[in-house]
Amino acid sequence: MAWSTGHEGIEDMLQIVALIGPSGSGKSHRASLVAVDKGVDTIIDDGLLIHQGRIVAGRSAKREATRIAAVKRAIFDNSDHRLEVIEGLAAIQPKSVLILGTSEHMISRIVDALELGDNPIEWIRIEDIATPEERRIARHIRQTEGKHVIPAPTVEVQKSFSGYLVDPLRFIFRKKGRQVEVEKSIVRPTYSGLGRFYIADTVLTAIVVHAAGSVPEIARVSKVMVQSTQDGVHIELDVTPRVSRGLFDILRRVQEEVRHHIELMTSLNVLSIRIIARRLG
Separation between Cα atoms, residue 211 and residue 218, nearest integer Å: 10
* pLDDT recorded at residue 104: 94
> Are the beta carbons of 98 and 34 closer than 8 angstroms?
yes
Closest CA to 256 of 212, 226, 204: 212
Q: What are phi and psi of 66, to 5 degrees?
A: -135, 160
Over residues 134-185, the pLDDT tens digits come to: 888 888 877 776 777 888 877 777 777 766 666 677 666 666 666 667 777 7
**29 phi and psi angles, rounded to 5 deg:** -65, -35
**192-244 pLDDT, tens per residue?**
444 555 677 788 899 999 999 999 999 999 999 988 777 778 999 999 999 88
CA angle centred on 101, ends 96 and 104, rounded to 5°: 90
* 50/268: higher pLDDT: 50
Q: Which residue has the higher pLDDT, 251 or 7?
A: 251
Cβ atoms of 48 and 89 within 8 Å: the answer is: no
Tens of pLDDT, residues 106-128: 999 999 999 998 888 999 999 99
What is the value of pTM for the model shown?
0.67
Angle at CA of residue 57, ends 50 and 115, nearest 5°: 90
Q: Tell me whether strands 48-51 and 42-45 are parallel, antiparallel or unpaired.
A: antiparallel
Q: What is the pLDDT of residues 211-223, one digit of tens each?
A: 999 999 999 999 9
CA atoms of 13 and 176, how far apart (whole Å): 24
Angle of helix 247-266 relative to helix 201-213, nearest 10 degrees, comes to 140
Q: What pLDDT band is residue 7 in, cutting at 50, 70 and 90?
A: very low
C-alpha–C-alpha distance, residues 226 and 216, integer Å? 23
Instruction: Reduce the DSSP state of residue 115 to 3 states and report it.
Output: coil
pLDDT score, position 118: 83
What are the residues whose beta carbons fall under 8 Å from the beta carbon of 64, sequence distance 6 or more? 70, 72, 73, 189, 190, 191
| C-alpha span between 1 and 116 (Å, rounded) | 5
DSSP 3-state of 73: helix
> How many other CB atoms are there within 10 angstroms of residue 210's CB atom?
14
- CB-CB contact of 114 with 97 (8 Å): no
Q: Helical H runs in 14-131? A: 27-38, 67-74, 79-92, 104-113, 126-129
Domains of the chain: 10-187 (3.40.50), 201-277 (3.30.70.1350)
The C-alpha atoms of residue 33 and residue 67 are separated, in whole angstroms, by 27
Q: Which residues contact 141 (CB under 8 A, 6 or more apart)?
A: 147
pLDDT value, residue 180 = 67
**Over 90: is that where the pLDDT of 267 sits?**
no
